[in-house]
Structure formats: structure tokens, C-alpha cells
Amino acid sequence: MAEAIWTIGDVAATGPLAGVRVLDMSSVVMGPLATMMLADMGANVIKVENKGGTHAGDMMRYAGSSPTGDLGPIFMALNRNKKSVTIDGREELGKAQLETLLREADVFFHNVRMAGMARLGLDYESVKAINPNIIYIHCCGYGADGPYGKRQAYDDLVQAASGWADLYAKRSDGPPSYTPSLVADKTVGLFATIATLAAVVHRQRTGEGQFVSVPMFECFTFFNMVENLYGQTFPGDGKFGYTRSINPRRRPYPTKDGFIAIVPYVDRQWARFFEIGGRPGVFEDPRFSTYEERTKHTGDLYAIIEEVAATKTTDEWVELLDKEDIPAMRFNPIEKVPDDPHLKATGFFMDMAAPHIGPYRTLRHPIAFTGSPANQRLAPQSIGAQNSELPSAANDG
């Protein structure tokens, strides 16, 4: 266990956003992922949660077992480097506290439906009246101009509506299915990070804040359709779905003793792969000799790769393909990912400790800044841990 006890103020922010102040009223996954990325990169993020009973605050605090009671595993993964305060925006004290925090903020970030924020006096025009240059980030379900504008959005709903779940049906000729990951939430969270960074740059250049809407449905449909608009890109009757990505044989290939991912890409790699695999004539086949033809006949090509992969052990393939500079990776069951030698060497999984948590495991920020490195300086906080720092000590949490 690393010798690391995190308390407020132990480590200074070193990332490129040091000095940027974010008031964060987001919850669950999409918003907290975005604000954690900002916090890792140095922003001073204050997470505002609602008061309540035994399950007050962000519901992700209680998803999964935890020795702390209010710091569940998913919440832990999404809420480091943030201070936690509880405020009741319906009370006069809470309104005054929020107004003070908003005056001091550069960014106001939330994923609450706008009607609810308007009832609290926290819609864009009201917040702009408090802080004219505020950057107001609203992570919403759907763009306000469309017929879904007032609906709720969740990961499953957006996977279904965006065509993402249909990719599984197209691949298997079976029923549609959801990806076993909160892929829409996390993807759109990164869109929100990008949007916030762009708005910060705009304000630095012009002095102007602005309202920024990050609609989950539109963002994830954009993400999905980058490659899957495909045959519908130009006029005609082409099909949706990139032939390579929806092919049922696009998967780790069985070897003699396990599985491996093999992706020859350029012509030289394809030719050499088939030579090594004892099938030197394959690349001369007109179906596979050019990139365009390989794309048309992806299924046939993958079937041959699968046959060739089965002729050697995983270790044999890794050694051979690495030597030949042919892209390949050992298949890792999720339980083995922390033992991956590359991730171990880079210290990606970090064993940490904090007084209010005890030992825990977290992930290193994945982006490397040579001049302004992201850092971890504050463990995920118990609900209301920084209430004493709020304007007016009368807030008893």
C-alpha cells in the first residue's frame, strides 16, 4: 500500500486548469466524470449535494458496497479532487450560499433538468445576473429545440435510441442489446469536458461567459455515427454500419491455449502475418490485396485469421507478432487487467489510503502533461465534508 494519506491542502494543483473554479451540481456518472477530469487537471471543484436523510447527496454514493457507507466504488472512481458541501437551495441560507459560490465561480456545471433549476432560481439568466461572465454548462438529455427536450435520459435509453444497441443485432442477426458498460454516460461526460475547456478558452480570449448545452442523445448519436453512417454518407441506398466493426468475427481469436487480438493493418503486415501463419497465398487473393477490397470482404478475412490464430499458443503469437511489428495484444479477462505488465510499469492502478476511507484503489489520470501534470490531491470526500468552509458557519450539514 502506497504511503499516501490525502487531506485538504496537502498537495497543490499542478494541472493546466489550476485556478479555474468550478461549482458542480452534477450527479451519477456523466457529469461527475466530466468534473473529475477538470479537477484532475487542476480545477478547484466544489461538489454541491442536497441535504436529506440516510441517503442524502449523489445516489452513486450508495451504489455498491463500501466500508464507509457513503463512498461507494463508482462514486470513488468519479469524485476525487472535489470538495463536498451540502446545500438546500430552497432555504434562504442555502440560496445565499449558492449566490456567494456562484459569484466566485468560473464555471457552473450541472445535469439537472432545466425546469428544476429554474424553480431554484438557477437557470442561466438568473445565474448570469449574479455572475455576468459565468460559463454555464448544462448536461441535458436532449436538445431543447426538439420534441424530446423535456424528457429524462439515461444510458440505456440513449443506447437504444441512438442506434447503438442495434449494432449488436446487425452483428449477430439476433436481438438488439446494450453494451455492458455505461458507455453513453461516460462518452458524453467526455464531450462535456471538451465543451467546458473550449468555453474556458473562449472566456480567456474575450472575457465572455456563455451558456453551453451538452445534449446526451445528440452527442452519443454523433459518437456512434462517425463510422456507422457509413453507406448512407453519400446519396444512394448504402447500408448503415461499418462493415469491419459490425462483423460477427471481430473479436479476440482463440489460440491453442487462450485468446489474442490481432490487427494487421497495412499491406506489409497482412502479407507477413499470413506467411508466418503458413498461409502465404492469402494476401494474393483479389478479395484481400487492397484496403478497399479487404473492407468489402471483412468477414472472409476474419475467418481466415481465426483459423491461423488457432495454430499457435498466445505466448508464441505475442512473441512472433511483436518481433514482426504486427499489431497484437494478449486478451485480458477483466480480473487480470490490473496485472497487465504495461499498466504495472506505468503505475496506472494506484493503491492509496485516506483517514476517512482506509485503503483503496484508484486510477492514474491517463493524460500526460509535461509542463503542467494532472495530479491527485484530494480523496473522494464524505458528504458535506467541507460544509465548514461554506459562507456562514450556521450551515450544520
127-176 pLDDT tens trace: 999 999 999 999 999 999 999 999 999 999 999 999 999 999 999 999 99
Residue with cell 484530494: 378
pLDDT at 54: 67
- How would DSSP label each residue in 85-102? EE--TTSHHHHHHHHHHH
**DSSP-derived pairing of the beta strands 259-262 and 253-254:** antiparallel
Q: Both ends of the chain: CA-CA distance in Å? A: 33
Give the domain ranges of the chain: 21-224+342-389, 253-330
Q: Counting beta carbons within 10 angstroms of the beta carbon of residue 332, is it exposed (0 to 12), middle (13 to 18) or buried (19 or more)?
A: middle
Query: Residues 149, 213: contact at Cβ < 8 Å?
Result: no
96-133 pLDDT tens trace: 999 999 999 999 999 999 999 999 999 999 999 999 99
**Residue 175 pairs with which residues in a beta bridge?**
none
Query: Residues 359, 352: contact at Cβ < 8 Å?
Result: yes
According to CATH, the superfamily of the domain at 253-330 is formyl-coa transferase, domain 3 (3.30.1540.10)
Query: Residues 111, 28: contact at Cβ < 8 Å?
Result: yes
pLDDT-wise least confident of 155-169, 224-238, 284-298: 284-298
Helix then strand then coil, % of the chain, to nearest 5: 40, 15, 45
Instruction: Work out whether the CA dihedral 264, 267, 273, 278 comes out positive or negative.
Output: positive
Query: Residues 349, 52: contact at Cβ < 8 Å?
Result: no
The dihedrals phi and psi of 175, each to the nearest 5 degrees, come to -75, 160
Strands annotated E in the chain? 21-24, 44-49, 82-86, 107-110, 135-140, 210-215, 253-254, 259-262, 328-330, 349-354, 358-363
Across residues 69-90, what is the average pLDDT?
96
Give the whole-angstrom CA distance, residue 60 versus residue 85.
16
pTM value is 0.93
> In whole angstroms, how far apart are CA 64 and each of 59, 71, 86, 207, 379?
11, 9, 22, 43, 18
The proportion of the chain whose per-residue pLDDT surpasses 90, expressed as a percent, equals: 87
Query: Residues 392, 88: contact at Cβ < 8 Å?
Result: no
> Over 80: is that where the pLDDT of 41 sits?
yes
CATH 3.40.50.10540 holds for 21-224+342-389: yes
pLDDT at 4: 37
Residue 211 host element (H or E):
strand 210-215
174-202 pLDDT tens trace: 999 999 999 999 999 999 999 999 999 99
> Over 90: is that where the pLDDT of 6 sits?
no
> Over 90: is that where the pLDDT of 10 sits?
no
pLDDT-wise least confident of 162-176, 292-306, 329-343: 292-306
Which SS3 state, helix, strand or coil, does residue 315 take?
helix
> Over 60: is that where the pLDDT of 8 sits?
no
Task: Identify the DSSP state of 391.
Answer: S
**Residue 260 pairs with which residues in a beta bridge?**
253, 330
